[in-house]
Amino acid sequence: MFRFPNTRSEIVLASGSVSRAALLTGAGVAFDRDPADIDEAAVRAALAADEPAPDPADVAEILARAKAETVSARRPDAHVIGADQIMTLDGEIFEKPPDMDAARETLLRLNGRTHQLHAGVCVARDGETLWSHTDTAVLTMRELSPEAVGQYLAAAGDAVLTSVGAYQLESLGVHLFSKIEGDYFTILGLPLLALLAFLRAEEALAP
């Protein structure tokens, strides 16, 4: 049976991200999942120690490359996709909240303010990067009362812990924002249009 797009080579997603897998699945791309399982915290700490510290978009790209190249070393014939996303507020890099208390603190800090999401994506083959791309989206959160933040977290549940900003724009989190500038796929952590264009150019997907 013909599949659109017609996948012409083995494609591997070097990530355990549910949202990134859903984006590729929705686009009709046949792929395997093989999470890189790198120590992201250690990589970020090493980069933060550099003088001057790298741009957050560069951090996202470096992590995306590390993931793709790690998996590509054990899947050399595949086109391996690595991706990462960095959230910043006033230059500070945020981590995913470990629990609901931390999620509440994150949302209260973002409340009424503008932050950035930097997404990096990379494709590797034979253990080496073939292509990489970064993109940034800018999001402004509405003014919310502490009670409204609590109501949102109660409604959204533990799913918010999978998001660095403790929100999921594709779900209830859309109600938290007054303004969004940038690509929707970048916000979800995978600049999909640029990625698909490269895979077509590489003839990993049908044109």
Average pLDDT along the chain: 93
Query: What pLDDT is stored for residue 1 in this prediction?
Result: 39
pLDDT (0 to 100) of residue 4? 63
Q: pLDDT digit string (tens) for 82-132?
A: 999 999 999 899 999 999 999 999 999 999 999 999 999 999 999 999 999
Tell me which residue range forms the domain holding 78: 11-201
In a domain, 110, yes or no: yes
Q: What is the pLDDT of residues 178-207, one digit of tens each?
A: 999 999 999 999 999 999 999 999 999 987
Residue 39 domain flag: yes
Is the residue at 174 inside a domain? yes
Q: Is 152 domain-assigned?
A: yes
* Count of domains forming the chain: 1
The span from the CA of 103 to the CA of 121, in Å, is: 26
Residue with structure tokens 């950035």?
116
Q: Domain for residue 207, yes or no? A: no
**Which residue is catalytic, options 32, 37, 50, 84?**
84
pLDDT tens profile 130-158: 999 999 999 999 999 999 999 999 999 99
Distances (CA, A) of 201 to 12, 126, 130: 17, 18, 12
| pLDDT on residue 3 | 57
Active-site annotation holds for 158: no
User: What pLDDT digit, counting tens, does each position of 3-58 carry?
Assistant: 567 777 899 999 999 999 999 999 999 999 999 988 888 888 888 787 787 899 99
**3-state SS track over the chain:** CCCCCCECCCEEECCCCHHHHHHHHHCCCCCEECCCCCCHHHHHHHHHCCCCCCCHHHHHHHHHHHHHHHHHHHCCCCEEEEEEEEEEECCEEECCCCCHHHHHHHHHHHCCCEEEEEEEEEEEECCEEEEEEEEEEEEEECCCCHHHHHHHHHHHHHHHHHCCCCCCCCCHHHHHEEEEECCHHHHCCCCHHHHHHHHHHCCCECC
Q: Letter for the amino acid at 143? A: E
CATH code of the domain covering residue 19: 3.90.950.10
Residue 1 lies in a domain: no
Cα gap 203→76, rounded to integer Å: 17
**Tokens standing for residue 110:** 């973002």
d(CA 8, CA 45): 38
